[in-house]
Amino acid sequence: MARRPLIAGNWKMHKTVAESVELVQKLRESLSSVADRDILVAPPFTVLAVVAEVLKGSQITVGAQNMNDNVQGAFTGEVSGALLKDVGCSHVILGHSERRQYYGETDALVNKKLKLALDVGLTPIVCVGELLREREEGKTFTVIEKQVKESLGGLAPIQANKVVVAYEPVWAIGTGKTATPAQAQEVHSFIRKWIERLYGEPVASAVRILYGGSVKPDNMDSLMAEADIDGGLVGGASLKAEDFTRIVRYQAVLSARAR
């Protein structure tokens, strides 16, 4: 089954209102002719509304980088899924490694948020990935298995179908050290097997699995040639219109690796 690629830009804690408007105006123009792939930007909360406004009527969608694990209420400083929908978000990134590392987010918390996101009609992008130490100790697959089972478990297959997974090896994020296409493919196919075990083959073959971690204009083409890589979650390189444009406009090229 052909999966429609999704390329998402995670702006993290960058861009003022003026900078955001400038960036999305450029992207709107430079990507206007792209029709065969989904494009998403995930700016900070403070500019979601204005970015959604600038992108109205374009094919670029808007997502948030996090949401609270409650429906509403007295949670000072937090933002709910319904509020994100209200400002024009279609997606939300959940369980990014920076949330896990710096804010103590656990698989159980990510799972709770995932269910709430689906309830309000947001498409969740659930991040998983191993630390450098875990990879060096040969624990990559154990870590990923636990994260997939616990973060993504307990859904109805019809809901699971809508989830996007992002494999982001923590050692590749913001370090300039991308996983090789073969390293990424190995984990992506492992994740897909686990989704199959949890939800069956039709769901596993429909779910998109994005790669994230130092995705750049010069490595996207070879990453996208891998069978189980369905797009990218791009941090640093999504902050520059030219770089993100080139990444979205990737042309999958087969590496020398025999396929």
Token pair 């123009």 is found at 29
Best CA proximity match to 21, nearest among 64, 63, 57, 51: 51
Nearer to ligand PGA, 204 or 247 (CB): 247
Nearer to ligand PGA, 67 or 203 (CB): 67
Least separation in angstroms between residue 249's CB and ligand PGA is 17
Nearer to ligand PGA, 138 or 176 (CB): 176
Least separation in angstroms between residue 102's CB and ligand PGA is 12
Best CA proximity match to 117, nearest among 178, 159, 165: 159
DSSP symbol at 230:
-
Q: Give the footprint of ligand PGA on this chain (CB under 6 A).
A: 10, 168, 173-174, 212-215, 233-237
Minimal CB distance residue for ligand PGA: 235
For residues 128 and 221, give the distance between their C-alpha atoms in angstroms, rounded to a whole number.
22
Nearer to ligand PGA, 164 or 215 (CB): 215
DSSP symbol at 214:
S
Least separation in angstroms between residue 235's CB and ligand PGA is 2
Catalytically annotated residues: 96, 168
Backbone angles phi, psi at 25, to 5 degrees: -65, -40
Least separation in angstroms between residue 216's CB and ligand PGA is 8
For residues 182 and 185, give the distance between their C-alpha atoms in angstroms, rounded to a whole number.
5
For residues 199 and 38, give the distance between their C-alpha atoms in angstroms, rounded to a whole number.
24
For residues 208 and 110, give the distance between their C-alpha atoms in angstroms, rounded to a whole number.
18
